[in-house]
Amino acid sequence: MKKILIVDDDPNIIDYLTTLFEDNGYSTFSAHDVKEGLAVAREEIPDLITLDLEMPEEWGPRFYRKMSQEKSLKNIPVIVISGLSGGDHAIGKAVAYLSKPFDREKLLEIVKETLQ
């Protein structure tokens, strides 16, 4: 079963994404902030990460920079899911950028394609 790590500071959105992914046959982990996200990523080595950009303390791009510096993590695909408008260039190497509120079917499609 493919593993997805959800990094978002809003527990409601974590809840939503968790249910959505699990309903579609993925296993999930979640983290509220950058620090926790990195810790979980190192331990679980997920197949895909969804990343929020604006979070208290450290922001999403910082997470991406840090994970890119780690050999075991740098090749994990990242989907940005954020409410920031114009944030699609914040992480250039992200496989996709989805603006909140996002289209559920489109997200699942991207996830499916990315994990094939």
Q: Which residues bind another protein (CB under 8 A)?
A: 9-13, 15-17, 19-20, 23, 54-57, 83-85, 99-102, 104
| Min separation Cβ 9 and another protein, Å | 7
**Please, which residue, 92 or 101, has the CB nearer to another protein?**
101
Q: Cα(105)–Cα(108) distance, rounded to whole angstroms?
A: 5
**Please, which residue, 17 or 41, has the CB nearer to another protein?**
17
Percent helix, strand, coil in the chain (nearest 5)? 40, 20, 40
**Please, which residue, 10 or 113, has the CB nearer to another protein?**
10
**Contact at 8 Å (CB) between 78 and 95?**
yes
**Please, which residue, 57 or 113, has the CB nearer to another protein?**
57
| Min separation Cβ 75 and another protein, Å | 28
* Beta-sheet strands, E only, within 1-116: 3-7, 27-31, 48-51, 78-82, 96-99
CA-nearest of 36, 41, 89, 42 to 61 is: 89
| Min separation Cβ 52 and another protein, Å | 9
